Structure 1
Amino acid sequence: MSSVEAPTHVESFRTEIRQWLRANLTGEFASLRGRGGPGREHEAFAERLAWERHMAAAGWTCVGWPVEYGGRGATLEQQVAFHEEYALADAPARVNHIGEQLLGPTLIAFGTPEQQARFLPPIVAVEELWCQGYSEPDAGSDLANVRTRAVRDETGGDWIIDGQKIWTSLAYESQWCFVVARTEPGSARYRGLSYLLVPLDQDGVEVRPIVQLTGTSEFNEVFFDGARTRAEHLVGAPGDGWQVAMATLGFERGVSTLGQQVGFRRELETLIDLARRNGAADDPLIRDRLAQAWTGLEIIRFNALRMLDGVAAGAPGPEASIGKIFWATWHRDLGELAMDICGAGGMLAAGEPYDLDDRQRLFLFSRADTLYAGSNEIQRNIIAERVLGLPKEARA
């Protein structure tokens, strides 16, 4: 494709999804605009699920997957256009993100043909929802400290899983969980881990919602007590789970982050408008912080584009870790700025018993941004050790 044809191809794709969203976010789906998202996943979940199945019927799920796996085979540039237009349309937060953006690409890269045939079509059709079984009480950002264990039963068939996962997003709405478990007794750190696909609707699995600062419960604890999954639900070879798990994390920080930034921009623009209306913008310190926030948002976008260039070239660099630190810190600071713009009134809930407005929810939920998906401290260690070549941190 020539340099002249490529932009035209992307713009026609952008126009197609923009027109489809304009025509379909109407009627029964009109009220879903802006619903869901961090701290608000409880909002209209069943209706958002119906919306996403409506998207699937029109071929607008898994757009970046190869056509042979049910996707559209969209180029990287087209995927960026899709996520940006989706965010610009204020379309509802996706309920199938973990299956579509994390597990699906992992199975395409590492799964067997049988696994692909079994699990990919229900993700495309939004018939099965997935959650991520990585973090544990003593293995959060330090994933290599996993203690959940899995052993084969006496016949050498099913895997039997015992342990606990925590901060498992939307586990209470999911039918399946991809679980990193220790399958080699006596192994430590990165060795001896395996990547298992585990059904949640069975005896031996208990999901307990965690009530967050926002009063909602997107995060959950998941307990496995003799839970089972079939032998063929192991992705990759036994003991190779670290490689598969790291690939999944790489997919997590893909093109959808550009759509996330559209949401960030909308939040910032809303705060600027509020500061002008309530007089907070007259304070030179507030104006300076708003200017810094705008500049930071531009840096986030430029770093993301640089990261995607590396992905397209087949050699992703340190930009993913750099980007995670920067956007997480930026978003947390934006929440603090929102409270300062609101003033004392920001301390009052909008209604009983705990009715939060968007700015209060932004402040409270963004406290988690610097912790989940790899804490700032862990990301700094990754950059120091793997990029800069500094001595590794001493570990017990």
Structure 2
Amino acid sequence: MKSVFGLGAKSIVVLSLSVSLAGCGLPRSGPSKGEILAGSVEKMGSTYIVPVDERVARAASKSPELGFSREFITAGVVGSDVIHPGDTLSLTIWENVDDGLLAGKGVNATGLEQLQVDDEGFIFVPYAGRVRASGNTPETLRQAITDKLKDQTPDPQVTVARAAGDGATVSVLGNTGAQGVFPIERPTRTLSAMLARAGGVAVDPETAQITVTRHGRTGSVWLKDLYKNPNMDIALRGGDVILVEKDTRTFTALGATGAQARVDFDTPNLTALEAVAKVGGLNTHLADPKGLFIMRDESPAIAAAVLGQAGLKEPQRVAYVLDLTQPDGIFNARDFVIRDGDTIYVTEAPYVQWQKTLSVLTGTASSANAISSAAGG
């Protein structure tokens, strides 16, 4: 009777704990592949599940490329010697007489300092009146002033000096060697030259992004593309604002990967294969190589191309799934480009939950034996 009671007690304990275990579930890193598929549009969910093949990888990998508009590219180089409103000039006028118009007796040279070009582009010179300076070079302005004075004093000689770029400056901000306002001079009339003048970039060149704002319009370019493509090395204009910043894009990795984290991009183009490698690859003890998901809110244009549904007007939730066990699986992962805000999720292999269940049940049986032994003792 005692052994029968012991067997029954153990059975009751194991059965009770098994039922309890089934009801509460086991710890895991996230939803299973089946649970994700159950939320598909086909099953009245809100997410499109799209297996990735060569066509899908190509269509889904289209992302806006950085670059300057035609308006920036076609702007010609500004001559560094052209005078602009706001420039400050200094004049020296020599007169070929002992008692001239401007110079005192015994002095034949007169200096006029800190002549600022007004908003309309003029300066005032005694006995010459208002003279247009803006749009002229120092040489053409010198000739214009000479012409106005030569009828009033014999053989006047004029020199014009300009504080280079006082009215043609750019602001350089962000991660550079030196931030500040810099004049557009002959050596610094292009974007790359001005960046060099500001001490270069102070972040990894692979992730350095350059943005130029001009009259309310902006354009951006990767630093490496600036040097690779001469068209991106645009001519500067007075008032331009140049911002240098590190790439701010990120993606999130979850599930059965080597690490679960929010990860910064370290290259302009990052593929799914590279992204998984950045977080330590797939967890060999947990990951299902058939369940690599890339989840994103896809733009209407790309969603239409991927899903084959014309006329989409709103962003669509799409879960792209990569099966790395397929012959082209790794190639497709290599060609699938990750975008800012993507979530990469790797599901656990089906056997993992069975393994956890068996492990817990084995522990439960051992506990039941201990309880039965205690009861029988």
TM-score category, normalised to shorter length: under 0.3
Higher relative contact order (CA 8 A, sep 6+): 2
TM-score scaled to structure 1, two decimals?
0.20
TM-score scaled to structure 2, two decimals?
0.21
User: Which one has a bigger Cα radius of gyration?
Assistant: 2
Larger % of strand: which?
A: 2
